[in-house]
Amino acid sequence: MALFAADGFDATSIRAIAERCGLSNPAVYYYFPSKADLLNALWSATNARSLRNLPVKRPLTVARVAELTAAMLDASAEQDELVRLMVRQVLAGDQTAAALRNQTMSYWRRYLLPHFLGSFSAADAELRVQSVTMVVLGATFLAQMDHPTDYPAFCRSAVFRQHVEAMVCVATGLNRNGEQL
């Protein structure tokens, strides 16, 4: 993290990473033939670790949608620093950062899709997954901008949680009493 913060993803070398971790270069190369492999592995591990796995419920319930949203918000709180770094780097033109960010967006989609496929056609599921993803992205970015130093605490607050869960429900076409999806 410190390395990437200093030099960006493009410019940081495997050697620098290896040194930081106290590994020899050959050792790192043995496991990760290229920097891309190393970053992909690190990144997948980060994504997988932070998003809580939930079993698919058929049919999809409002409660389950709320739990999925909560899981995404927990991940967002945990990765506040990393997300800010990524956004800065992407905007500064770092190609690696852009690729990693795209990876995360794909990961979110793969995380959510099975839950919606349990109740919707492929096309309808895709639309709702995109809706959830964009609403959560919009809400978390807005909150991150308004809370430059205390975002994790704010993100974990009940008030914020409920607000985002409510918006996700609206954006996925749930009606008020939550019966229908």
Partner 1 sequence: MTRTASSGVHKQASHQTREAILEAARELFARKGYAGTTVRAIAARLELTDPAIYYHFHSKRNLWENVLDSASVQAPALPAESDPEEVTDWLIDFFFAYVEQAGLVRMLLREQFGSDPPSRAFRERSLGTYHVAAIGLLRTTYGERARPILDALTCLLSGIIWDGVLAYGDAFTDVARQPAFKARVRDLVRLTLGTSCGQTEH
> Rounded CA gap, 100 and 87, in Å?
11
114 binds partner 1 (CB under 8 A): no
Residue ranges in 44-83 that form contacts with partner 1 under rule CB under 8 A: 58-59
Residue ranges in 142-161 that form contacts with partner 1 under rule CB under 8 A: 142, 144-146, 148
In the bound complex, what is the minimum distance in angstroms from residue 148's beta carbon to partner 1?
Answer: 4
C-alpha 98 chain-centroid distance:
14
Question: Is the Cβ–Cβ distance between 60 and 115 less than 8 Å?
Answer: yes
Question: 83: which residues sit within 8 A by CB, 6+ positions away?
Answer: 76, 140, 144
Q: What is the dihedral of CA 15, 20, 26, 27, to 10 degrees?
A: -150
135 binds partner 1 (CB under 8 A): yes
> Rounded CA gap, 16 and 143, in Å?
34
Using the rule CB under 8 A, which residue among 19, 82, 130, 161 binds partner 1?
A: 130
* 86, amino acid identity: M
- The nearer residue to partner 1, 65 or 181, going by C-beta atoms, is 181
134 binds partner 1 (CB under 8 A): yes
Where on the chain is the footprint of partner 1 (CB under 8 A)? 58-59, 84, 87-88, 90-92, 98, 101-102, 105, 118-121, 124, 127-128, 130-131, 133-139, 141-142, 144-146, 148, 163-164, 166-168, 170-173, 175-176, 181
